[in-house]
Structure 1
Amino acid sequence: MQILEKAKLKVEVARNGLTAVEMVEKNSFDAVLMDIQMPIMDGYTASLEIRKFNTNIPILALSASVFMEVKNKITESGMDGFIFKPFDPQDLLNQIEDAIENNTQK
């Protein structure tokens, strides 16, 4: 979160997947960084729920796993990309910027 705030990005944090879905439903965000493993509702399910009412917002998965089945599940759940932990801070910022730009061009 500090990386994002240092880059002057406004950040809001959901402590679980259900809260993330509710936040996206009630607010306007430029992008979502979705942790795959969250309590109450995992990132896959939360992304599927978000896609029911918002097909445009870029959702980038955050995961420590690099297994192919994780990559496939990320795509199947409607996420637009993935960032594997640990990540390079500049790469994270670049991917967020790219996702927002690509969404703006749609």
Structure 2
Amino acid sequence: MGRGQLLGREDGAAVFSSRTIAVAPGDDRVELGFRFSGTEVVVPDDARVVTNGAVVFGSVDCGAACAGTGTGPEITVDTSGAFGSVDVRTVTEAAADRADGDDD
């Protein structure tokens, strides 16, 4: 069993801001709380991601990472929040967005 990251108020969850979270090798779970903010979760390219949780007046976007084509470990991204968005991206997707100047 892997490790998890719990990101809450005590360790600086995204509130009225933006934040990028890199999933470390060996992590199999990220629990994220947010309010009025945008958060990017960057996972390894070979990860298979499952998203859970509840978001009110917001969204969770998970492209290639949730496509189910990864050969690496399964990572659960559990979100809880309101008035914001969570983007789950692979390392390659995040790098391409930065190269294109896309900050959302």
TM-score, with normalisation over the residues of structure 1? 0.42
TM-score, with normalisation over the residues of structure 2? 0.42
The structure whose RCO (Cα within 8 Å, separation 6+) is larger is 2
Judging by fraction of residues, say which structure has more strand: 2
